[in-house]
Amino acid sequence: MKRALKLLALLASPVWASPVWAEVPCCATGDLGLVIERATGTLLVVDRSDRAAVGKVEGLGDLSHASLTYGPDERFAYVFGRDGGLSKVDMLTRKVVARTVQAGNSIGGAISDDGKLVAVSNYEPGGVKVFDADTLALVADVPAAGKTIGLVDVPGRRFAWTVWDTGEVFLGDFSGAEPVITPLGNAGKNPFDAVLTADAHTYLIGLFGEKGVTAFDLWDAAPKPVKFLQDYGKTEDDLPVYKMPHLQGWAFTEGQYVLPAVGAHELLWVDQASLAEVARTPVHGQAVFIIAQPASPFVWVNFATPLNDVVQVIDSRTHQVVKTLTPGKAVLHMEFAPRGAEVWISSRDDNKIVIYDTRTLKVLGEIAADSPSGIFFTARAHRTGL
Amino acid sequence: MRSLLALVVLALPCAAEVAPERAKALEHMVIQDCGSCHGLTLKGGLGRALTVDALAPADAEGLALIILDGVPGTAMPPWRPLLTEEEAMWIAHYLKKD
């Protein structure tokens, strides 16, 4: 009886004044993130402010080589699994709210600038499929002559992508009733990944089958391929590449692009205006991710197996390595707090995420995770080309 | 060219003996590091599928050679700097599940 009375009293008082409210999970997602646990196919929900794991999402299929993107209200994540699964995850309930297995083998995806369309880049069968972000209903299916890579969102409900096998580059406009797909030209032999600058100006495509990088000016009405860095390292024997570099986080600092040399343990610095090489930095191994620390002159680099227990910090003004860190075994990814104060680093084989203060380079905390790979903070929702 | 290949094949150890500790490390390597191109479940990615069915027509020696020397002109790298011939043979048998 006493209980019932208490309950009644609770119900009568305004909800925000009741102690129950304090126990309701927080309704804001701005400082949350998701970590891909590749061995178990789960997502770890993390809280950036608390530096803690706060939940787990299951039922996502094969998450090896998975990535994800966020809708504009930072509530829903769209997860692209290796097995072709596209899942929509609610950050608040930590549940999969929609899921479709849309291809046999996929590699990544992107969300349109208005948050209405989600595009997935597929290996098998090759091509790009576009889905309604609300329902995950298929909106468009654009087959390709091979594996598609480097899918990015371009303002105006558009996406750009590239075909590994043929080198073809396409711009798809999904703003009208019917999609308009425009071939932009050929990037070169075996493009392995591509990235769009944050100003949506330049689509840069890294080549594996030949030396060089190809740029398309997407501000131009008729973009054309411009090749550069075609002669780096050509005289020396190439080193084996045990993991393909990722270009998602290609760094753009101090008027320069910083690119991973493919088959050499070097970073290449290129002047953004002239596309001429300005410097090289010898580094610990084959660079995989090169990511600019926001609001700073520094870039952070991780490396391919077997040299993957190290992260290096490089000053883009001097092109020198200023710090070499050993966060743990098999470092797969680095994600910065949106304003750069912290970096979260995943160590797959030590089953943990290590958090560093980017100014002091001291470890601020660790979070246990099962074979963690990609780390994605919700702030990505508001960045072009991710 | 054919006979040369045969010669190289003959030079590979027939049985693949590796210590249990190392076998565990190799298994981890196949799943994680080979998996980054061939898929964690080896059903294919940038590299083709390495499932038992997909590899059925290939013999273990041939696979071990591909693992050691890679496939020039493709993304398949040579693993000789990181693996012994015994270890490559062990991986070949592991993939074929013999």
| Identity of the amino acid at A288 | V
Q: Which residues contact A75 (CB under 8 A, 6 or more apart)?
A: A29, A90, A91, A92
Q: What is the Cα–Cα distance from A183 to A276, expressed in whole angstroms?
A: 27
**Of residues B39, B77, B82, nearest to A82 (C-beta):** B39
Q: What is the Cα–Cα distance from A372 to A348, expressed in whole angstroms?
A: 5
pLDDT tens figures, B33-60: 998 889 888 888 888 899 999 999 999 9
Note the Cα A385 to chain centre separation in Å: 9
Whether residues B39 and A208 touch (CB distance < 8 A) is answered with no
Mutate to test the interface with B, among A242, A331, A349 (most CBs of B within 10 A): A242
Q: Using H for helix, E for strand and C for coil, what is the string for A79-122?
A: EECCCCEEEEEECCCCEEEEEEECCCEEEEEEECCCCCEEEEEE
A224 — pLDDT class (breaks 50, 70, 90):
very high
DSSP state of B27: H
Q: Mean pLDDT throughout A30-55?
A: 94
In chain A, residues with a C-beta closer than 8 Å to the C-beta of B41 are 62, 64, 82-83
Q: Using H for helix, E for strand and C for coil, what is the string for A263-292?
A: CCCEEEEEECCCCCEEEEEECCCCEEEEEE
What's chain B's length in residues?
98
Q: What is the Cα–Cα distance from B35 to B15, expressed in whole angstroms?
A: 25
Task: Check whether the bond before A306 is cis (ω within 30° of 0).
Answer: yes
Q: What is the Cα–Cα distance from A278 to A261, expressed in whole angstroms?
A: 14
pLDDT at A53 over 70: yes
Please spell the DSSP secondary structure of A1-54, one letter per residue.
-HHHHHHHHHHHS-GGGSHHHHHSPPS--TTEEEEEETTTTEEEEEETTTTEEE
Fold of domain B20-96: Cytochrome Bc1 Complex; Chain D, domain 2 (1.10.760)
The ranges assigned to domains in chain B are 20-96
ipTM summary value: 0.81
A304 — pLDDT class (breaks 50, 70, 90):
very high
B7 — pLDDT class (breaks 50, 70, 90):
very low
A105 — pLDDT class (breaks 50, 70, 90):
confident
In chain B, residues with a C-beta closer than 8 Å to the C-beta of A192 are 46, 75
Q: Which pair of structure tokens corresponds to residue A264? A: 């050499």
Note the pLDDT of residue B61.
Answer: 95
Where residue B67 falls (left for φ over 0; alpha for ψ -120 to 50; beta otherwise) is alpha
Q: Which residues contact A11 (CB under 8 A, 6 or more apart)?
A: none
Closest C-alpha among A82, A49, A50 to residue A68: A82
A57 vs A35, A73, A82, A130, CA distance in Å? 10, 19, 17, 24
Q: What is the Cα–Cα distance from A187 to B72, expressed in whole angstroms?
A: 21
In chain B, residues with a C-beta closer than 8 Å to the C-beta of A41 are none
pLDDT tens figures, B76-90: 999 999 999 999 999
pLDDT at A261 over 80: yes
- How many Cβ atoms from other residues are within 10 Å of residue A5's Cβ? 9
**CB of B27 less than 8 A from some CB of A:** no
Please spell the DSSP secondary structure of A163-198, one letter per residue.
ETTT-EEEEEE-SSSS-EEEEEEE--S-EEEEEE-T
pTM of this structure: 0.89
